A and B are shown apart, each in its own frame.
Chain A
Amino acid sequence: MISIRDLRCGLLDIRSLDIGPGITSIIGPNGSGKTTLLRLLAGITLPESGEILVDDRPPREVETGWVNEFPDRNILFDTVSDEVASPLRFRRIPCSETSRRVTSHLEFMRLVHLSTRPIRDLSGGEKILVALAAATIHRPSLLVLDECDSHLDEIRAQETDRLLSGTGARYIIRCTQQMESAAHGDHLIYLEQGRVIHAGSPQDVFRSLAVTAFYPLAWRCGV
């Protein structure tokens, strides 16, 4: 369980929130604190006050994969294979094992066709897919994704959801502006002005948002 207690950081003000294992989507207006919450969960930012525990450990002690909402800010190296290998190299994994795992992981993520491509030549969506591969190759228990799906087409986003579920991450927490995608997760959190307004199953949260623009169009259309 991820537990958040008396958390304050900038605009964010969360008294108590528990997040169970599985896929959790965070939605809300621009500037509501979604990225701040994700950065705190990933251990990139420390709270001004309060506490976050991931299975009783602070985020910085948890194996975490992170993908930034700005695709270019994820990238450190020139080629796709070097970028995907980097988390293993930083952990001093032997070269032969790194090479084997990169090959296998690119196949798993269906990115073999990009392996030798310079990253500067990739499209925005392709950069995000590479960042996702790099974030998952070391099998993190916590995967934190900041609006990755805004760069993906519908079919690739659905396929990526399926692949990420197979990475073994106990917690996948992502913010999204695609409500149909949020409807398919295990848990849903709606933030507004730094506060959790609704949290629960997608059905319960969206029921509370039925008269807002956040309600999934497919549900509204009954399809």
Chain B
Amino acid sequence: MRIVLDDVCIAREDWNLSAGGIFTEGTHLISGDIGSGKTTLALLLAGLLQPSSGTVEREKIADRMISFQFPEYHVTGSTLREECASWGIDPAATLKGVNLTGKEDLSPLRLSRGELKRLHLACVLAKHYDLLILDEPFSSLDCREKDRICNELSCRTRGITIIFTHEQMQFPRVDFIWEITGGSLRCRGRLPDALPTWEHAPGVVKKLIRRGKIPANLTQKDLMEAACRT
């Protein structure tokens, strides 16, 4: 199971993004500046956008899912109950799991953004997909929810998970680091070797590296372990 990007280019009037590389099974973290093309790349990987040139091959991927940055783009039900049902999952169990019991008949668009994101991610993560693409999955979530989602993602042992994020504090266990710089997607490699060359590394990670304390991975436990290392 893998995605192969061969000399891909996406070009617009005064902007372009080039990308090459292979996404194998595991969790890939992709970072980049605002407007660098993260969401565009997510759409491309999901098959919702065709490249201007080059090819995208998805090998042995039976099913795929993309979670958009804005959870409101996914809403199709007029109530939370209908929204869960539209994903083919049990509303009662799902809403209980995200602490929204009692709001079954409320419109999803009446939820706070954090609550809507929580609901949306519960719907997305209720099933397994060979390819799971998450565009800013942690935005709007409170620290406890980020922690819970990170743990859930860390437990995904099969398939390809690709996470696009600006998050600086809470991460799941990650296998590969990628970043978009200078209009190109670059693979920094496997963790922890990738960390010293990761330009968009969170401030905490950069400070730990400067002190010679390279964390084994990016979970809070890994960062704390590195910080406490003597």
Q: Hey, which bits of chain A sit against chain B, CB under 8 A?
A: 28-31, 34-35, 69-72, 121-126, 129, 147, 150-156, 177-180, 212-214, 216-218, 220-223
Contact of A29 among B142, B204, B223 (CB under 8 A): B142
Q: Report B-chain residues with C-beta under 8 Å of the C-beta of A34.
A: 112
Q: Which of A30, A72, A218 has the most CB of B within 10 A?
A: A30
Chain B contacts with A in 148-174, Cβ cutoff 8 A: 166, 168-170
Contact of B208 among A129, A180, A223 (CB under 8 A): A223
Known: A153-B34, A217-B223. A30 touches B142 (CB 8 A): yes
B50 located at the interface, meaning its Cβ lies under 8 Å from any Cβ of chain A in the complex: no
B204 touches A218 (CB 8 A): yes
Interface segment out of the listed B19-27, B57-65, B113-121, B183-191: B113-121
Q: Report A-chain residues with C-beta under 8 Å of the C-beta of B223.
A: 217, 221
B70 located at the interface, meaning its Cβ lies under 8 Å from any Cβ of chain A in the complex: yes
Complex-state Cα separation, A218 to B113, whole angstroms: 26
Q: Report B-chain residues with C-beta under 8 Å of the C-beta of A29.
A: 142, 144-145
Question: Which residue of A is nearest B32, CB measured?
Answer: A153
A70 touches B113 (CB 8 A): yes
| Count of A-B residue pairs with CB < 8 Å | 119
Contact of A30 among B35, B114, B227 (CB under 8 A): B114
Chain B contacts with A in 8-28, Cβ cutoff 8 A: 12
Known: A30-B112, A152-B34, A217-B204. A177 touches B166 (CB 8 A): no
Q: Hey, which bits of chain B sit against chain A, CB under 8 A?
A: 12, 31-35, 38-39, 69-70, 72, 99, 111-115, 117-118, 136, 139-147, 166, 168-170, 200, 202-204, 207-208, 211, 220, 223-224, 226-227
Q: Report B-chain residues with C-beta under 8 Å of the C-beta of A69.
A: 112-113, 140
Q: Which of A28, A178, A218 has the most CB of B within 10 A?
A: A218
B140 touches A147 (CB 8 A): yes
B227 touches A223 (CB 8 A): yes
Q: Report B-chain residues with C-beta under 8 Å of the C-beta of A179.
A: 143, 169
A125 touches B34 (CB 8 A): yes
7 shortest A-B CB distances, which residue pairs? A30-B114, A125-B34, A221-B227, A213-B143, A150-B139, A223-B207, A153-B166
B202 touches A154 (CB 8 A): yes
B115 touches A150 (CB 8 A): no
A153 touches B113 (CB 8 A): no
Q: Supply 11 A–B pairs (Cβ within 8 Å), ascending by A.
A: A29-B144, A30-B118, A31-B112, A34-B112, A72-B72, A126-B34, A153-B166, A154-B168, A155-B33, A177-B146, A180-B169
- A125-B166, A153-B31 given; name 12 further pairs at CB < 8 Å: A29-B142, A34-B112, A70-B72, A124-B39, A126-B35, A153-B166, A180-B169, A213-B147, A214-B142, A218-B203, A218-B204, A221-B208
